[in-house]
A and B are shown apart, each in its own frame.
Chain A
Amino acid sequence: MSTHWTLHKFHGGIHPLENKQQSTTMPIQQAALPGLLVVPLLQHIGQPAEPCVSEGEHVYKGQLIASPAGLGAAIHAPSSGVVERIGAAPYPHASGQPYNAIEIRTDGKDQWHPDIRPANPDELDDEQLLQRIRAAGISGMGGAGFPTATKLRSGQQASIDTLIINGTECEPYITADDMLMRERAADILSGAAILQRLLDARQVVIAIEDNKPQAIAAMQAALGTRPWHVVSIPTLYPSGGERQLIKVLTGKEVPSGGLPAHIGIVCQNVGTAAAVHDAVYLGRPLISRITTLTGAALKQPMNVECLVGTPVIELLQQAGLDQTRMNRVIVGGPMMGFSLADLNAPVIKTGNCLIASTEQEMPAPEPALPCIRCGECELACPAGLLPQQLLFYAQGDDHEQLQANNLFDCIECGACSYVCSSKIPLVQYYRSAKADIREQQQKQIKAEHARQRFEFRQERLRLEEERKAAERQARAERMAKAKAAKEKADAAKPAPVAGSDPSADQLKKLKIEASMARVALTKAEKQLAQHDTPELHAQVAQLKATAEAAQQALAAAEPDATAAAPAAEKPAKAARPALSEAAKKAKIELAMARAALKKAERAEASEDELAPLREAMLKAEQTLADAETGTPE
């Protein structure tokens, strides 16, 4: 059906030497089981997985050994054995730095975990299918390693028209996907059917470069009655890039910064489709992959199916590595791959190719010459960028201009460096500039975060201070109010408080005096016992007298006071009701008579004038006495 498909062209592209024929002379070989598997915790884009086994624990083949944290994929034991160590181990990365890994000493039994069971996808719903794919720890097998379940989930949320199964494999040397398509076409297609079902895609397109006629034939043959398209596309690097392939097949461009899903397209690698088949039908997690072993330093280049975690050196030896001829080992293709620093590093889920190259095959890069602005790079750039402008801005660290010239649309394919007549390592400039910009952005985000936290803290301290000040003020007001109230109360009844019980006060005073005298006496007596002098004798005698006097005074006052208190109250209580009208009147009259007499006396009145007044007063006194006795007591 490939005949009916209209093809488009993407901008640029190059034709590097293919070098694919060396590794396709024999079928896929089974790699030997290594003694030690080094399974890194980061084999995908996102967060490293978290180990869920401990050192010394026995694991079965296919057992979960690290679960994903955040964006990521699960990692399983590639073979049965014992977890020997969890820690930093050689890792295939451009930096050459080690990374945390789980090392498994294999027991040679290669025993599958008993829970791994086949299933029929027709009996599973979409959610269960996706769960099976997620649990299998599948991430993109084409090279980038994006977790497949996450990609499918976001594809489900968009409306997908076309599912592209990417069998392009445009990088020179690599033939892993080619061999996979030749030998396992049926698995790829049944995996693709599951992907189509999950994404609800209208059509499925399988894209293969026209330099793989056997793969195209195998896929065509396996297609059967499926109404899908196997499309042969012209060989042109980098047609396997997701965006470039979409352009070739549909003529559409993925917007800058967007995802293919935004224009209704999802791309999956053929290896990913086969892994999905294994996960869904067989229940097997992603623990092995097909890797191309090639390069002039190998006697027998080939493709092997190897376990994830197999050290690179063991695989290369299986292919007849000639250490004396080997110059360096490239992981990935010659265009986008990197030199491996430590041959003990393992193959990981994304490791599609190992090139053991000789000096002659891949010589060290020639020294760069100044850019002569020939413009070849611009003609080659598949992303339609201006590589030489980007170079100048990168050299000048002009981040603003780099972003304005869409540096982040660069796919780092290396086409510009390949065609550069001055041998300038352009891609390395872009990678470095991208990393710098990302770092700056991270710093900016962190600074913004710190600023917010600082301002929140300032605000909190301010509010606390305000609250404290308000509390202080409230407290001061409350105290002032209480004081005022107390003063008022004191003014209202000063006598009852102070003089309510004068005898008690006096008694207290006497008691204090008595006890002080006693204390003075005991002190003096003590002194006397130590220094016997006549003065002291006299003093003691005097003090004794004082103390006794005080004691007596107290003793006299005590019964008085106890008696006085009720006595003083009693008459007052009794008298008040007893005072009759007559008595009151008599009292008033007496008082008036007294007053008149006193007035007269003060005025020095004569005896004749005073006599009647005295008489009147006496009379009044008599009347009062009568009135008081007259009333019932």
Chain B
Amino acid sequence: MSLILIAVITLTVLSLIFGAILGFAAVRFRVEGNPIVDQINTLLPQTQCGQCGYPGCRPYAEAIANGDKINKCPPGGEATIQALADLLDVEPEPLDAVEGEKPVQVAYIREEECIGCTKCIQACPVDAILGAARQMHTVIVSECTGCDLCVEPCPVDCIEMRPVEGDLRSWKWEQPSPIPDLLIIATDREDQA
């Protein structure tokens, strides 16, 4: 009888000690915010275009962390979906966009038509448009993410999206066409025949 009592008391004391340690750790090493959101956010292309239906990349990252689908980011395309699928260990899905994956674009302001209303400047999420009231505006190409948020607010329709032209230095070797699945083992060939 006393043996059982000792066992019960020992286990109770142990559980209390470990409970206290866990409780302390939970308070002392508390993680602020959701770390997975940051990880998802770094994989998103940060165009802040809102094509996913959320107002920017971070809100979409938060939505994914809360269980939204990972295939809503057209600027990121298949590469982003694959990276998200790897991170979250889910099945990659085809891109959920009407026009599919678009080539990289940048905004272009037809400067002679610009009336200097500053509406596009206010719309640009990354401050890539330069200009002032009643002064001509222009796009800083190296900063433009191609989100096309500036196209809609323009009252004179002088902004268009142009594909980025690659030159030699952005040219890359193509991967060779896949090696045909030849039957190189004699018995396999015989089976085939």
Chain A contacts to B: CB under 8 angstroms:
42, 91, 93-95, 97, 99, 367-372, 394-395, 422, 424-425, 428-429, 431-433, 435-436, 438-440, 443, 446-451, 453-454, 456-457
Contact = CB atoms under 8 A, between A and B. Distances in A.
Q: Please indicate which of the listed interface residues B56, B170, B172 has the most CB atoms of chain A within 10 Å of its own CB.
A: B172
Interface of B: 41-42, 44-48, 56-57, 79, 125-128, 143, 145, 167-176, 178-182, 184
A457 B127 contact: yes
Nearest to B47: A450
Nearest to B166: A97
Given A368-B179, A454-B126, A457-B127, A42 B168 contact: yes
Given A432-B175, A433-B175, A453 B126 contact: yes
Contact of B182 (A95, A99, A370, A394): A370
A355 B134 CA distance: 60
Contacts of B47: 450
24 contacts: A42-B168, A91-B168, A94-B171, A94-B173, A95-B168, A97-B167, A99-B167, A369-B182, A370-B179, A370-B184, A432-B175, A432-B176, A439-B172, A440-B79, A443-B45, A446-B46, A447-B44, A450-B48, A450-B126, A451-B41, A451-B57, A453-B143, A456-B127, A457-B125
Contacts of A424: 176, 179
B45 A425 contact: no
- Which A-B residue pairs are the 3 nearest by beta carbons? A435-B172, A431-B173, A450-B46
Contacts, number: 88
Contacts of A432: 172-176
Main SS of the interface on chain B? loop
**Which DSSP category, helix, strand, loop or mixed, fits chain A's interface?**
helix
Nearest to B145: A450
Contacts of B179: 368-371, 422, 424
Contact of B181 (A93, A370, A372, A438): A370
Contact of A97 (B41, B46, B125, B171): B171
Contacts of A439: 170, 172
A438 B171 CA distance: 11
Contacts of B41: 451
Contacts of B169: 42
A43 B44 CA distance: 36
Contacts of A431: 172-173
Interface centre among B44, B167, B173 (most CB of A within 10 A): B173
Contacts of A425: 176
B173 to A, nearest CB: 4
Contacts of A368: 176, 179
B38 to A, nearest CB: 11
A32 B23 CA distance: 87
Nearest to A425: B176
Contacts of A443: 45
Contacts of B45: 443, 447, 450
A432 B178 CA distance: 13
Nearest to A99: B168
Contacts of B184: 369-370, 372
Given A432-B173, A447-B45, A457-B127, A395 B143 contact: no
Given A429-B176, A450-B48, A454-B46, A97 B79 contact: no
Contact of B171 (A95, A429, A446, A447): A95
Contacts of A436: 172
Contacts of B180: 367
B46 A428 contact: no
A428 B173 contact: yes
A416 to B, nearest CB: 14
A7 B34 CA distance: 58
Contacts of B46: 446-448, 450-451, 454
Nearest to A96: B171
Contacts of A453: 126-128, 143
Given A99-B168, A370-B181, 15 more contacts: A97-B167, A97-B171, A370-B182, A431-B172, A432-B175, A432-B176, A435-B172, A446-B145, A447-B42, A449-B143, A450-B143, A453-B126, A454-B46, A454-B125, A457-B127
A527 to B, nearest CB: 53
A95 B181 CA distance: 29
A316 to B, nearest CB: 23
Nearest to A457: B127
A102 B29 CA distance: 64
A70 to B, nearest CB: 13
Contacts of B128: 453
A256 to B, nearest CB: 22
B123 to A, nearest CB: 11
Contacts of B44: 447
Contacts of A422: 179
A371 B42 CA distance: 37
Contacts of B143: 449-450, 453
Contacts of B173: 94, 428, 431-432, 435
A425 B174 CA distance: 12
B174 to A, nearest CB: 6
A439 to B, nearest CB: 7
Nearest to B57: A451
A371 B184 CA distance: 11
Contacts of B127: 453, 456-457
B168 A454 contact: no
Q: Which of B46, B57, B125, B170 has the most CB of A within 10 A?
A: B46
A428 B56 contact: no
Given A91-B168, A448-B46, A450-B48, A457 B126 contact: yes
Contacts of B175: 394-395, 428-429, 432-433
A456 B47 CA distance: 14
A368 B177 CA distance: 9
B7 to A, nearest CB: 50
Contacts of A454: 46, 48, 56-57, 125-126
B168 A97 contact: yes
